[in-house]
Structure 1
Amino acid sequence: MLKKTFFFLILVSSLVCLFSLAQVRAQGINLDAVSSADTGPDLLNSLTFSHTVGADTNRLLIVGVSIQNPDAGDTVASVTYGGTNLTNVGARSRGIFARTEIWSLVAPATGTYDVVVTLSGTNTASFAAGGISFTGVNQTSPLGSFFSAAGRGTTPSVNVRNVNEGEVVIDTVARNSVNPITAGSGQTPQWNRATSRGGTADVIGASSTEPGPDGGGRVTMDWASTGNDRWAIGAVAIKPANPTAVKLVSFGATKHDAGTLLTWKTGFEVNNLGFHVYREENGELLRLTPDVIAGSALLAGSGTSLGAGRSYHWWDLSSLSSQPSGLGAVRYWLEDIDLNGKRTWHGPVMLSVTGKPLPKTVKPEFLSELGVRLDEQYDQYWRVHDLKEKLKRNPLLMKGKGALGSRITPAYAKPASAGNSLKAGTSVGTQSSLVSQSLPSSQSSSLVATMQQLLAGRPSVKLTIKEQGWYRVTQPELVAAGLNPGVNPRYLQLYVDGAEQPILVRGEGDGRFDPQDAIEFYGVGLDTLSTDARVYWLVEGTKPGKRIKVYEGKGAPLGISSFPFAVEKRDRTIYFAALKNGESSNFFGSIVAGGPVNQLLNLPHPDAASSGQASLEVALQGVTRAPHRVKVFLNEVEVGEVVFEGQSLGIGQWAVPQSLLLEGENLVTLVPEGGALDVSLVDVIRLTYWHTYGADDDLLRFTVDRPGQLLIEGFSDSRIRVVDITDPPKIQEIMGKVNTGGSGFTLSLTVNGSGSHALYAFTEGRIKSPA
């Protein structure tokens, strides 16, 4: 027999990812396309050339213009791309000899279109122009400040200040000459054109780009040429769609007797999903981390920096004895990943040596482990293990491979945030049955407000209800809460949301509210972002209050053995503040990333004889701005997949055989198939199946679709009661006949009235008290 000892292993030297250093690069602002033209030997008023913009996202088009303007009146009146006007970023002139201008267009249309540069009025001149399109650019604030300079000589230059890491500086230079011009060190030339009119009427224009420095700072854009000619230059920084996710303060690797400790600290984080650690040997990288070490993306808001930073570590316990020099050939790299899939590399760092023993450190928290305590991981591991052993004996698993479920239109809806519609029994972090309930909706908001004010001004007892159920409050409890002991019990009234609710008042027949008396009623809590508590008010009215009617029905047996019953798992353990979710909740359950994620659902009393279909519904919230494809398995059988994009809500719902279900725990497995950036959160898993008319721990919320007689089994107490909660303002109690059956008690009752009915059966021991 397998001994149930659970180990959390620190992964060492597992070959997860192997590739060349040449493949390592950061993703941010990318060059899309370059085009240019000049007026040649002519003096023109406009210049037209074609430019092709690719289909990548977050696009920006920059057009630079270099003019030789002998009358100092030749300025650019307009620049268009496919008929769409560009916006002037800035311009600079050197007297009547040279002028440069930069124009921009956010989100240019994809495809090939004409760029048309038109001078003011009817002026003509020698000029050159070039278009450069980029992707990965901030669409709200794409550019920094415009900087420019002008002068005479061989080295045009301009300083661009306050350039952030991850930004790209672009310039355009104009020189009243045809002498070749060369971009400075660190700059990448993009276009370079000279007119050919001859003499002093020519201009050479050019453009280049340079990335912002590590840590940010100043960027100098300069050019070199010959001759003492006039020049003008302008430059601007382009901002990335998403800023650098991590600003690293320190990163080091220390060799100890039993392994290598890698530590790093961030001074700044924004949208940081987490980290991977790599070891470099002989020019190849070995990924050491089996999963992403969790960053701050699920702690801080979207675009919100974690200014104080965080500290992280990882142990590399692999042997280095196979290396000739022991240490010299080994280096370590760190990769951070943001919510957009951008990967930024840090390092490498070399080993330093210490003879000290391994210091005590806390195990790193992987992305897939967020929100799960160690004891919970231990418990679930063995529950899943035992369940899988049991499932191996399920004959349905032998019916072939492939998806077993048939997709149906999802009926998913977010939980009610306020108002009248509630899902009874839903509670944060638990599994529970769902029976749709309604509170009175006939009251207008103004009437409700008026009633609440009237109640607040009268002597009353406040009763706080947090969950669905049958409640009893005794006379001593009510008197202790402020009720007048001399009250006439017939005039007791119960209100919620301004509407009176029917109640039972035990002992009201004699007109006195004695210590042995009590009130009873059906109550429902709230399920909103701010509270789970609903307030009921008990007052002494001026007329007899509404009472719950009791009846004993008569009718023929219904001949049915089960009814649709829903169990859901809606954990709320992780707060995803980076999600712009409006008024809906930002709390979710388990992270789906890297590998299979197991979720357990407890199904009481499934009807093994039912020929009906069950329904499985899965709702996932995207974390990364990437495509998501998650396969869904029920009890080791594939039923379908949830496919969605970015930070949207992905929903899948499938019909599955009732015979696939087990009494007790059932296993739902979610397997991300969209690659390393396929990261999502479980919003809700709901399974609707055919439940026998058997009580679950002396309680049953159930439905019948027509009037008639039925039998409820499985009670441990003979004091069984049933109320019809179909219409809460008109709740009725149904009398039935209790018998001994099997190992407990049964209740035979008859439901009257047409249409579907929602009923609530319970024993004396399941009666609740207000919070």
Structure 2
Amino acid sequence: MRRIAIVALIFALFCSLAPVTSSISVRAQGSDPYASIGLAHAADVRVAASPSGVLIEWRTSFELDNLGFNIYRDDNGAQILVNPSIIAGSVLRQGTPLDSGYEYQWFDAGGTGYSRYYLEEIRLNERNILLGPFTSIWSVNLPKIRQAKLITEVAAPANVSAEAEGPAGVFDRAAPTPANIQDQWAIAAQPGLKIGIKQNGWYRVTQSEMAAAGFDVSGDVRNLRLFVDAREVPIEGSRSSGQLGAADFIEFYGVGLDTPTTDTHVYYLINGSQPGLRIPVFGELHTEAGSPTAAPPAAIMPVRSSSNENRHANLIRKRNHAIASPNSAGGFLYEVQRKERFLYFSSLLNGAAENFFGDVIAAPITKTLNVNGLQTGSQATAQLRIGLQGASNQTHAVNILLNDVMIGSLTFEPLAYSEQTFNIAPSQLREGGNDIKFVKTSVGDLVLFSYARLTFPRIYRVENDTLSFTLRSTQSATIDGFTTTNLRVLDISDPNAPQEVHTIVSTGGSGYAITVPSSGAKSKVARTLLAQPAESFLHPASISFNQPSALNQSNNAADLLIISHRNFMSLPNLAALVSQRQSQGFTVRILDIEDVFDEFSYGSHTPQALIDFLSRARSTWTKAPSYLLLLGDASYDPRNYSGAGNSDLVPTKLIDIGGPGTSSALETASDDALADFDSDGIPEIAIGRLPVRTAAEANLVLSKIVNFSPANVPQTAVMVADTQGSYYWNFEASNEQLINLLPANMQSNAQRVYRRLEPSDSATRADIINKFNQGTALVNYSGHGNVDVWTGAPIFNNSDAMALTNGNHLPLVVVMDCLNGYFVAPNLDCIGESLLKAPNGGSVASFVSSGLTIPDGQHAMGQRLFQLLYGSQPIMLGDATRQAKLATTDLDVRRTWILLGDPTLKIR
């Protein structure tokens, strides 16, 4: 039996969600408005008793950082934990598409009609929350039971929990420093082929793949040049001159990328004006790489065959004269790593580092690393390196066991990230699977698994005909276990300058073997090599055409920039919007987000490219942009760890708000941060976003904007307010102050929907929907909220928003609560998104928050917004929202309020 600590909390906080069940006991924590900003708090808890036991069902709104739940049964004062381990919450179900929130069921065979129940919510970063007691109703026949999964039953998704391996140091190797950005601009300005690489290895791209992507394959292959990070890398080809034929190809060594926003390294193939680099034989020098600047191509030379077979034959002849060094290496250090990324820890404030981790160490967990080719008897020291992330506000302590033997422990500060290396004897390892067990030592402690990396001595023997290995320059090595004599060995010590290596092929103990001679040069740095069959190659993750662009040039000009995902650029309603704005005097430019990546991040998917581009455009363009419309959704999961799909079409900037370990701590979206060049929370460009994922959604939302006319909309205002309860802020009074800032005709026609004055929450909901559907120019809500609801009841949710039928009577919706603008969740639309995407009504725009803040700064901003919108002269939405933020000094309010709509739209 486990004792329960009743957690004191306030449900009536500005951003919290008050459960609808009346029997929940609540204790106040004091006057601190940030004391308990809640997000998940279970609502609509139902308990049904039957002759066979008791069924507990509960529903939550959208949850952030909800690890799961415990259920306690109270039998005559004895409180018993019902579930054997934590019931898995939202952080373990992030790939599940949602219409609104989550539902759970748990059946307790030991319960009776006299049992009472408590529901404990377990949250990353924060104190647990206890709800109850709940009493049961009698039900002879229970509904079909879908028992919720326990945390111990939720396995890491296969696509984000995998092993990687390579020679020692491969995972710590620093990314190559990109060349001068001007060189990348020259590459981006030329038509070319973009080749996406996700893992290190030898790649082949065929002529048919090039042609299918739109690349010109009629040039002389001598002038084919390949670049990555604006640096030229050498290639091999199936011919050395003339045009590529249908059976031809190029090959090269590619290197993957691992950043918080992408796993794809982009290589650019161009038809140059001079011969490109080719992979030399070890000891030969590259010719000097030329500038990537475009120029007329050289004349095409007659076709001269130089097949891989001929090249291989020449290499075999040279290998026969290669001499092995008498100083033969017996083994080398090798690494195998398991890294998991599927659990999103949204309240972790860790700057630019990613907030995704692996399994929760709430109960003991085991990770297995596979060791192949273990060099037994080696005198080298093996090492195990562990990375863990603290997820609770207490000192963390985790014991580490390797193959059931304790090797040490990690002890670290609350909410900190910790890495530690343990030295181990090779004799502690075994060929095949090696089990690493993690056992927490403190009750209530929560720790997240990040990675485990094992470094061990390995013999020179291949697995599956391939081996990447290291070798001192003065040593030779014989690698056994190949099934073919047609082999390729590359020196990849510099991955951007690989070289072919002469080897000696012989019959080995298990198939064929190669002997790699010493390099002949004395160096303290070991060489890194790759041995594999000559006809073994990888396929690129993506192949696409590079449309030339020159966004960096100062002769560009625009008042309104529209940066779009490529899928939406040819939509008729986008063309209509551009034409409409041009007729109003705007200079408009539509840009492909891929062009921004090409020029400002060497092709990598990252919001930093947008920041750097907008800064340059604002400071150097002939006409600097004043307005920016982002056409496409964004996501806190740009690498699709959650499996919900790729929705990071036009990225936003993820920022940290609140204080570490507090209820307001959150990583969230800030579009304004993309153009906030002086970091004061006010963008230098007025920004709006249409967070659409499909062409159909984009066309619908664009049509609302193009066809919007204030004359079609009744000039009334609907003012909705939550109940104050014990909270320090009076939402009704806030609304009354805002009503006084409306024009006289709108003041007299203002329609109030105050939850306190309604007969029930269901009546409040019906009143809000009805007034939306009647048509109004403005809807304002002040109160508590979450991503997909107003209040915890709720009195309005995103499903209600999608079902609105107000036609073309589209209002501006202004919301003074939390998270209604949290548009970056990959599996759920926020209310702001749903209002825009509603097919038969909704809104033309909304001004909503992606963060957790308190009313003081919100209300100051809201008052200024109303003054600007309803002043003597009509004003564009982007100007009004940008200037309104100057009225508050709350930096988090400034950075997290998002305009979901067109910044050049006028509502009157």
The residue aligned with 1:759 is 529
Change (3 A) 1:479 1:348: closer
| Equivalent position SS for 2:35 | coil
Residue 129 of structure 1: aligned partner: none
Q: Which runs of 5 or more structure 1 residues have no equivalent in the other structure?
A: 1-16, 30-160, 168-212, 220-235, 301-305, 321-326, 377-426
State the AA in 2 paired with 1:566: E
Q: Does the 8 Å CA contact 2:491/2:499 hold for their aligned counterparts?
A: yes
Q: Are 2:248 and 1:536 equivalent residues in the alignment?
A: no
Q: Is the 8 A contact 1:28 1:342 kept in 2?
A: no
Q: Check if 1:277 corresponds to 2:63.
A: no
AA aligned opposite 2:31: A
Residue 515 of structure 2 aligns with which residue? 748
How far does the alpha carbon of each residue in 1:514-564 deviate from its partner, in whole angstroms, 9 at most, with x for none? Answer: 555432211112212222222222223333222211145534233322111
Q: Which residues in structure 2 correspond to 1:308-707 (within 5 Å)? A: 310-318=102-110, 327-328=113-114, 330-340=115-125, 342-356=127-141, 358-370=142-154, 372=156, 428-435=160-167, 436=169, 441=176, 444=179, 447=180, 449-508=181-240, 513-551=244-282, 553-593=322-362, 595-675=363-443, 677-707=444-474
Per-residue CA deviation, residues 54-97 of structure 1 (Å, 9 max, x unaligned), is xxxxxxxxxxxxxxxxxxxxxxxxxxxxxxxxxxxxxxxxxxxx
2:503 pairs, out of 709, 726, 736, with: 736
> 1:217-268: CA deviations, max 9, x gaps?
9x9xxxxxxxxxxxxxxxx934463345664433343222322112233468
> Are the counterparts in 1 of residues 88 and 149 from structure 2 also a CA contact under 8 Å?
yes
Q: Distance in 1 between matches of 2:429 and 2:161?
A: 22
Task: State how far apart, in whole Å, the 1-side matches of 2:102 and 2:540 are.
Answer: 44
Pair 732,28 (structure 1): closer, same or farther in 2 beyond 3 Å? same
CA–CA distance in 2 between the matches of 1:557 and 1:334? 71
> Could you say which residue in structure 2 is the equivalent of 1:251?
45
Query: How far apart, CA to CA, are the structure 1 residues paired with 2:271 and 2:63?
Result: 59
CA displacement 1:683-727 (0-9 Å, x = unmatched): 111111111111121111111123232101111222111100112
State how far apart, in whole Å, the 2-side matches of 1:657 and 1:583 are: 36
C-alpha distance in 2 between matches for 1:767 and 1:723? 13
Single out whichever of 648-657 and 723-732 deviates more from structure 2. 723-732
What residue identity is the alignment partner of 2:455?
T
Q: Quick one: which amino acid aligns to residue 689 of structure 1?
A: F
**SS across alignment from 1:490:** helix
Deviations 1:276-327 (A, max 9, x none): 2122223211111122223346789xxxxx996543222111376xxxxxx4
CA shift for structure 1 position 442 = 6.6
Q: Offset of 1:607 from its aligned partner? A: 1.0
TM-score normalized by the length of structure 1: 0.58
- Alignment deviations for residues 406-454 of structure 1 (CA, whole Å, 9 cap, x no partner): xxxxxxxxxxxxxxxxxxxxx953201145567995764xx3x322232
Q: C-alpha distance in 2, partners of 1:637/1:456? A: 55
Aligned partners of 1:253 and 1:351 also within 8 Å: yes
SS in 2 for 1:455: helix
Equivalent position to 1:710, from 457, 477, 483: 477
Matched position secondary structure for 2:442: coil
Contact 2:124 2:446 in 1 (8 A): no
Q: 1:626: how far off?
A: 1.8
Using a 3 Å threshold, how does the CA distance of structure 1 residues 370 and 622 change in structure 2: closer, same or farther? farther
SS of corresponding position for 1:472: strand
1-structure distance, mates of 2:517, 2:457: 21
Q: Distance in 2 between matches of 1:534 and 1:684?
A: 22
Q: How many residues align?
A: 488
Give the Cα–Cα distance (whole angstroms) in 2 for the partners of residues 364 and 639 of structure 1. 36
For 2:32 and 2:245, locate their aligned partners in 1 and report how far apart those are by CA, in whole Å.
80
Q: Deviations over 1:652-703 (max 9, x none)?
A: 210111111121211111111111x211111111111111111121111111
- Residue 483 of structure 1 deviates from its aligned partner by 5.0
Distance in 2 (alpha carbons) for counterparts of 1:249 and 1:485: 62
SS in 2 for 1:758: strand
2:487/2:533 contact within 8 Å kept: yes
Contact 1:165 1:215 in 2 (8 A): no
**Match of residue 177 from structure 1:** none
> What residue in structure 2 maps to residue 237 of structure 1?
31
Q: Which amino acid aligns with 2:230?
A: G
Q: Which has the higher strand share?
A: 1
Indicate the SS of the match to 1:611. coil
Greater helix content: 2
Q: 1:514 to 1:271 in 2, by over 3 A?
A: closer
Q: Give the C-alpha shift of residue 646 in structure 1.
A: 1.9
1:742–1:360 Cα change, 3 Å: farther
Query: For residues 427 and 92 of structure 2, what CA distance do their matches in structure 1 show?
Result: 39
Q: Distance in 2 between matches of 1:518 and 1:758?
A: 26
What pairs with 1:217-236 in structure 2 (closer than 5 Å)?
none
8 Å CA contact retained: 1:165, 1:216: no
For 1:291, the aligned partner's letter is S
> Could you tell me whether the CA contact under 8 Å between 1:370 and 1:591 is conserved in 2?
no
Matches of 1:439 and 1:344 in 2, distance apart? 43
Which ranges in structure 2 are unaligned for 5 or more consecutive residues? 18-22, 283-318, 542-908
For the Cα contact (< 8 Å) 1:247–1:268, is it kept in 2?
no
Counterpart of 2:281 in 1: which secondary structure? strand
Whole-angstrom distance in 1 between the partners of 2:451 and 2:383? 14
Query: Contact between 1:252 and 1:262, CA under 8 Å: does it hold in 2?
Result: yes
Q: Is the 8 A contact 1:613 1:655 kept in 2?
A: yes
Q: Return the alpha-carbon distance in structure 1 between the equivalents of residues 324 and 493 of structure 2.
A: 19
| Structure exhibiting the larger radius of gyration computed from Cα positions | 1
CA distance in 2 between counterparts of 1:288 and 1:747 reads 62
Output the amino acid matched with 1:26. Answer: V
The aligned amino acid for 1:331 is R
Contact 1:700 1:761 in 2 (8 A): yes
Give, in whole Å, the separation in 2 of the partners of 1:243 and 1:649: 24
The one-character-per-residue Cα deviations of 1:118-149 (angstroms, maximum 9, x if unpaired) are xxxxxxxxxxxxxxxxxxxxxxxxxxxxxxxx
Offset of residue 344 of structure 1: 3.7
Cα displacement (A) at 1:618: 0.9
Paired AA for residue 696 in structure 1: E
Counterpart CA distance in 2 for 1:346 and 1:572 is 31
Kept in 1: contact 2:156–2:340 (CA 8 A): no
SS of residue in 2 equivalent to 1:766: coil
Q: Could you tell me how far 1:567 is from its partner in structure 2?
A: 0.7
- Contact 2:235–2:278 at 8 Å: present in 1 too? yes
Q: Give the partner amino acid of 2:225.
A: Q
For residue 632 of structure 1, report the CA deviation from its aligned partner.
Answer: 0.6
Between the aligned partners of 1:319 and 1:439, the Cα distance in structure 2 is: 58
Distance 1:472 1:269 in 2: 45
Matched, 1:768 2:538: yes
The answer to which structure, 1 or 2, has the higher relative contact order (CA under 8 A, 6+ apart) is: 2
Distance (Å, rounded) in 1 between the aligned partners of 2:281 and 2:153: 52
Offset of residue 475 of structure 1: 4.0
> Identity over the aligned pairs, expressed in percent?
32
Is the alpha carbon distance of 1:598 and 1:492 closer, same or farther for their aligned partners in structure 2, counting shifts above 3 Å?
same
Query: 2:91, 2:344 within 8 Å by CA — same for their partners in 1?
Result: no
